[in-house]
Structure 1
């Protein structure tokens, strides 16, 4: 709750900082504010809080853990917005404020204990993302991305809201614990079809938010058209909050209905892994490859939902937490490097990375570590993220799903190695001058690479956090 209050106040304060007409104070100001919120969030660890807003929001270790991921992701992402500072971008204060407000929605999605709080959180996060997707107003691709995201997001929101209404009609409550009781012992058996349709519509609505197939078709176009900085935020924070909300819905409210939703999630998982990996392998544009890669990672996280079997703690839940952290760090690193290269070389295909190992060794090394982590190579955080999820699924008897996920990981090796090959084995195509990187970006890239390696060397200190 403290995090929500601070972010809301700081978001408004950031708008007033915009009146100073000096972007130089905005970036350090936003980072200091987020560090303060991160510290306040950690202070809530193991502290018992009464539910807030008439039992609509709870702050427990689950909320603190996933809130920590979204806050840390935003902190390490902010240095890559420095180009907006140097260019004198007049809307920078508004962009930062929207990021802060979107984090409020993300925390609501993580800590909700009432379906209406989930809906409010999703809408706060989504509306901010619709605006940021179209923030490059003179770029037709950005305009197209915002329009597609808004229209498809509006339909998904409508489906989600209809599902919430049907669940309420079948159970008479929005509270998760009361929903669990009503689903386990229905008062009126004739309302079961309404209940199942409501569950299915909620899965569709949240599936859209996390880019799970077959509700992922918006992802490549929106990710490609959205400015790279906001694409990175969308790919990490939105996905982390979405899966935290997804797991809580299934584990707290609907464990008694897993006979219905479990086969649905399994089918979505297999389809997401297939379409995400095959789609990424077919791309020639690095940004679109990372978009399809994001879809494939939603598939691996869905494995965690399958393995959880309606339990909010245990190996599967811890696997989802660890995977979300490792994925977010590696994705921010990849998009950060891509943003710097794209701004200098004015292209975002694989050829834009040619010769980066010679011109910018740090950028090439960070990108290499990020790609290896996303591919699940040992000694990176991504390896143990996948290992924990697949081990949890194997322990529950889902051997076929695990084998299929391993095969899809082998497909992933193909498209994750292509940027590495371009950076180290291809000559520079065009401008051979080094990509400019300032001090704070250099430190951030080094920290991201180091964190990815540390998670791969010593995963144990976070593996059992939930």
Structure 2
């Protein structure tokens, strides 16, 4: 609860600071705000508290995922330096919207009531609709905002309809009471309950870009300004998956056999669409969009496993994926801003002109591909280990491993361009010292988690 209050207050303060003539104070101030929230969040560890008549519970699960999301935002903010250099008059609003969206994300990982989950999703989504269209001079950005808003609004209605049917079947919005209601003779077999469960799964699957509800993702990711695309593919996905797992574990555990076939079909389809779709892309941003879809599939595998390893594997995977994705989008933003190109050709010769950027991007691609000695390797390992607790799901792991091999192909297209293709008179990409430090920190963290995963893997 402390994190929610601080983020709300800091967001409002940031808006007033935006009235100052110079916007250079906004970046360090936003970082300070986030650092304070990160520290305050840690003080809630092992101190479970419930609020609003048990509609919101801050426990270790909520604290852990809040930590990932706040840390990810901390690592993301330094890549907004270009907005300061160009004296963007809307910078204060951008930072405030990010802080307000984090309020929704925190609510999504700490809810105990479906109404609170809905409110959290709306707070997060509305902020992202605005940020998606923040580049008002770009037709792609305007298109992205319109598509995201229309489709997001529709699927929010779908999600709300599912929640209403669940309430009609169980008489409660509290996820613990919903779980208890299923033990009755008429629980899982209740038609309204089953339909509500299915519709709710569809609504949340849209929010995390799971196939076949992924169709908005490539266009929206490509049109949205890169900084906010990075936020969308990390913090939004982390909040969505964490909320999804909590819902299924607390409210629908007793109906596992009912939703298992639907969710496993969504997972396999997500893995296939994400990896195969990424192979044919020529735009790096669209490739990372399809990559984001595929990683939603790997995260859903832990949910399907539904055992004592699931929450830990989702936590570690979210952290590893977020750090690698922020580095990838960060380097892409720096390159695209200067070279005015988001295709693979924009990275030609980067290994010679900017060794630091090339190395950070290489480590990021290796982690996303699941190569050993990076965090992504153990992220996939923990997910596969949780699934293999059930010997009947061996076939799912085989499919996931084969598609992970496909992932190596399209991720390494960037690495090949950086080190094995000529620069073609491409100038050196300008990077300030603070951004360089951020990339170095992310790279070290990615490698460290790939060597000593036990640092965080056993937190939950």
* TM-score normalised according to structure 1 size: 0.97
Paired position in structure 2 for 1:291: 289
1:460 CA drift (Å): 1.0
1:21 CA drift (Å): 2.5
1:429 CA drift (Å): 3.5
Q: What does 1:179-194 correspond to in 2, within 5 Å?
A: 179-186=178-185, 188=186, 192-194=190-192
SS at match of 2:182: helix
Unaligned runs of 5+ residues in structure 2 are none
Counterparts of 2:411 and 2:226, CA distance in 1: 19
Deviation per residue, 1:5-35 (Å, 9 max, x gap)? 0000000000000011321000000000000
How many residue pairs align between the two structures? 459
Counterparts of 1:428 and 1:195, CA distance in 2: 59
Counterparts of 1:166 and 1:395, CA distance in 2: 33
SS at match of 1:428: coil
Counterparts of 2:187 and 2:398, CA distance in 1: 38
Q: What does 1:63-82 correspond to in 2, within 5 Å?
A: 63-82=62-81
1:191 CA drift (Å): 7.4
Counterparts of 1:189 and 1:295, CA distance in 2: 33
1:47 CA drift (Å): 1.4
Check the 8 A contact 1:170/1:191 in 2, yes or no: no
Check the 8 A contact 2:188/2:255 in 1, yes or no: no
Q: Do structure 1's residue 383 and structure 2's residue 377 form an aligned pair? A: yes
Counterparts of 1:384 and 1:368, CA distance in 2: 17
Q: How has the CA–CA distance of structure 1 residues 263 and 359 changed in structure 2, closer, same or farther, with 3 Å as cutoff?
A: same
SS at match of 2:58: coil
Counterparts of 1:168 and 1:395, CA distance in 2: 33
Q: What does 1:376-415 correspond to in 2, within 5 Å?
A: 376-397=370-391, 398-415=393-410
Check the 8 A contact 2:238/2:318 in 1, yes or no: yes
SS at match of 2:19: helix
1:190 CA drift (Å): 10
Deviation per residue, 1:326-362 (Å, 9 max, x gap)? 0000000000000000001000000000000000000
Check the 8 A contact 1:163/1:200 in 2, yes or no: yes
Q: What does 1:294-309 correspond to in 2, within 5 Å?
A: 294-308=292-306
1:185 CA drift (Å): 1.5
Check the 8 A contact 2:188/2:258 in 1, yes or no: no
Counterparts of 1:109 and 1:385, CA distance in 2: 22
Q: Do structure 1's residue 426 and structure 2's residue 421 form an aligned pair? A: yes
Counterparts of 1:291 and 1:352, CA distance in 2: 18
Paired position in structure 1 for 2:116: 117
Q: What does 1:176-325 correspond to in 2, within 5 Å?
A: 176-186=175-185, 188=186, 192-308=190-306, 314-325=308-319
Check the 8 A contact 1:280/1:289 in 2, yes or no: yes
Q: Do structure 1's residue 12 and structure 2's residue 12 form an aligned pair? A: yes
1:141 CA drift (Å): 0.2
Q: How has the CA–CA distance of structure 1 residues 234 and 189 changed in structure 2, closer, same or farther, with 3 Å as cutoff?
A: closer
Check the 8 A contact 2:370/2:404 in 1, yes or no: yes
Paired position in structure 2 for 1:96: 95
Check the 8 A contact 1:134/1:143 in 2, yes or no: yes
1:48 CA drift (Å): 2.9
Counterparts of 2:140 and 2:183, CA distance in 1: 48
1:316 CA drift (Å): 1.6
Counterparts of 2:180 and 2:80, CA distance in 1: 47
Check the 8 A contact 2:181/2:187 in 1, yes or no: no
Paired position in structure 2 for 1:338: 332
1:461 CA drift (Å): 1.9
Counterparts of 1:304 and 1:46, CA distance in 2: 24
Q: Do structure 1's residue 347 and structure 2's residue 345 form an aligned pair? A: no
Q: What does 1:38-57 correspond to in 2, within 5 Å?
A: 38-49=38-49, 51-57=50-56
Paired position in structure 1 for 2:449: 455
Paired position in structure 2 for 1:416: 411
2:358 is aligned, of 347, 364, 370, to 364
Deviation per residue, 1:141-168 (Å, 9 max, x gap)? 0000000000100111000000000000
Paired position in structure 2 for 1:439: 433
1:230 CA drift (Å): 0.2
1:74 CA drift (Å): 0.1
Deviation per residue, 1:152-188 (Å, 9 max, x gap)? 00111000000000000000000011000112215x5
Counterparts of 1:64 and 1:93, CA distance in 2: 27
SS at match of 2:293: helix
Check the 8 A contact 1:351/1:429 in 2, yes or no: no
Unaligned runs of 5+ residues in structure 1 are none
Q: What does 1:121-132 correspond to in 2, within 5 Å?
A: 121-132=120-131
* TM-score normalised according to structure 2 size: 0.99
Paired position in structure 1 for 2:24: 24
1:189 CA drift (Å): 6.0
Counterparts of 1:14 and 1:268, CA distance in 2: 40
